[in-house]
Amino acid sequence: HGRACEPCQHGGAAVLARFTRSAMLEVLGQPYMRTALAKGVPWQMAVRRHALPNAAIPTVTIVGFMIGSLLAGAVVVESVFSWPGVGRLLVVAVANRDLAVVQCILLLVAATMITANLVVDLLYGALDPRLRVTARGEA
């Protein structure tokens, strides 16, 4: 459609590949990469120890966003193809005004999103030691 797509709309693998590529290219052009290579660090080790962890941070963010679109996509796919699943159950419960089932499913979706965000935040700390927080709340 001629304009840049949001990461959550469609083409998940392509969007993820594009973000990963651009993050790697940006990291590979950083001064610390040139310094590591100038000091004699082999290319594979420099990429593995310096470039990949730094390039993985935006990629992990995009994956976190994509989890929400997967949940929303399940509702559409299960409804269109009449597949049994939680997405179809949600549509049927809304049509039948079954408030308890709707609340339960939305609670599960919210718990899934909270868990996904928690995992993304934990991965940030594992990928970048500067983002870790001590027990007293100091960085």
Q: Is residue 119 part of a domain?
A: yes
Q: Is residue 139 part of a domain?
A: no
Q: Is residue 64 part of a domain?
A: yes
What's residue 9's pLDDT?
A: 53
Report percent pLDDT > 70 for the chain. Answer: 87
CA distance linking residue 124 with residue 57, whole number of Å: 6
Task: Flag whether pLDDT at 7 surpasses 50.
Answer: no
Domain count across the chain: 1
Q: How far is CA 118 from CA 11, 35, 95, 104, in A?
A: 25, 34, 33, 21
CA distance linking residue 123 with residue 127, whole number of Å: 6
Q: Is residue 124 part of a domain?
A: yes
pLDDT in tens, 67-90: 877 888 888 888 889 889 888 999
105-110: average pLDDT: 91
115-130 per-residue burial string, b: 16 or more CB within 10 A, e: under 16: ebeeebeebbeebeee
What's residue 69's pLDDT?
A: 79
Task: Flag whether pLDDT at 42 surpasses 50.
Answer: yes
Residue span of the structural domain in which 117 resides? 12-131
> Structure tokens of 33?
């990469």
Predicted TM-score (pTM) of the model is 0.69
Burial of 114 per CB tally in 10 Å (0-12, 13-18, 19+): exposed
Q: Is residue 138 part of a domain?
A: no
